[in-house]
Amino acid sequence: MRVEKPGYIGGAAGPTDRNHFRRIAKIVAKEGAIITTHDTPDVDGLGGAYALKRHLEKPGAPVDIVTGRTTHLTDPLVERLGMALKGWRDISASDARPLIVVDTGTPSLLTGCKKTDVLAVIDHHLVNNPPLEARMKIVRKAVAGCQIIASLIPAEAIDPEMALALAVGIAGDSEKLNDVDKDTLPLFERLAAICGEDKKTLDLLAYPPLGAHDLKVILDEMRYIRTEIYRDRLIAIGESCLENPAIMASMLRDMNVSVTAILCEVGSGQTADENVYKVSYRVRNQDAGQGVYASDIARETSRKCGMPENMLGGGHRDKAGAVVRGTYDRLVQIILETAKEAMDRALGQKV
């Protein structure tokens, strides 16, 4: 009998990744698994975990999704799919099932997880400091973790619910397809066709309207906001945690702040008061239109704080990201200075 090679709906994963994934599937089919994602999970982490559970779970080998506390931002997706989420307290110390971590590779973002034997990390963040040790790593640069997972599972095995979970994850991490790479659009379209939902419905599951409770959660994470007026424009720099920086930075941009940078601590630096931060940059549309580019500010700040050439920030003119290293106060100074230089360059030297 001739066995057909399974086809895939996208190319965000390579042949080695798919070999790893087949080995992971064999182990999970026998031993079950616990799938987790970063603290305060977003729709990319939960959507990917859901699709993996549906694909990997076999009779007699249960797979559970276990997370830290969730926010209301993911409630609509969780409810729509009837996703059963457990907390680490629900998992007994003697539970020997292997762990699969999706959408992060940073140990400090797995609060409550006591497991040390990690079967696999499936992630789209290239910089994790320190990185999580795992038997297998499927780590690729991609806009969303769900892009990688969607191209690891054979096309024939992706049912409408899995497709919906993956499409919403992609919509979430790509800001409703505004921040894309070469795989994003074709993958999203295939997934939308499989689940039979339109883009508007998927966007709404990825970005549900924020109620008072949701806003409270986000604003409560906001720390040390520093603001400055320069050339009649507002610059705002602050710190938040987990997936909130991107939401927070977009909110401030939507409130007419010209240049926003929200830092998020992701690891420790070389000295006691130094840390590694992920920064979400936003530039208001009208300023980007005049040549003040978020991508320039991101790249320049990471260069100034001594990041190696292959780890400089970048992105789009209105939305960018960078990983930076230093003390918080020093980094705020560098970002402020860089934002002002970008304004001077774009708007002409101030006389």
| Contacts to Mn ion by CB under 5 A | 44, 103, 145, 173
Q: How far is the CB of 146 from Mn ion (least distance, A)?
A: 8
Tokens 């249960």 sit at which residue?
62
Torsion angles phi and psi, residue 263, rounded to 5: -90, 150
Tokens 């038997």 sit at which residue?
135
Instruction: Report the alpha-carbon distance of residue 110 to residue 207 in Å, rounded.
Output: 24
Kindly tell me which of 246 and 257 has the beta carbon lying closer to Mn ion. 246
* 3-state SS assignment for residue 78: helix
Q: How far is the CB of 108 from Mn ion (least distance, A)?
A: 16
Kindly tell me which of 247 and 331 has the beta carbon lying closer to Mn ion. 247
Torsion angles phi and psi, residue 9, rounded to 5: -85, -10
Kindly tell me which of 46 and 257 has the beta carbon lying closer to Mn ion. 46
Q: How far is the CB of 179 from Mn ion (least distance, A)?
A: 12
Q: How far is the CB of 244 from Mn ion (least distance, A)?
A: 13
Strand partners, 324: 277
DSSP string, 218-252: HHHT-EEEEEEEETTEEEEEEE--TTHHHHHHHHH
Q: How far is the CB of 173 from Mn ion (least distance, A)?
A: 5
Cα 87 to its chain centre, rounded Å, is: 21
Kindly tell me which of 105 and 145 has the beta carbon lying closer to Mn ion. 145
Kindly tell me which of 56 and 148 has the beta carbon lying closer to Mn ion. 148
Kindly tell me which of 263 and 332 has the beta carbon lying closer to Mn ion. 263
**Taking CB positions, which residue lies at the least distance from Mn ion?**
44
Strand partners, 283: 259
Q: How far is the CB of 38 from Mn ion (least distance, A)?
A: 8
Instruction: Report the alpha-carbon distance of residue 190 to residue 46 in Å, rounded.
Output: 20
List the end-to-end C-alpha distance of the chain, in Å, as a whole number.
80
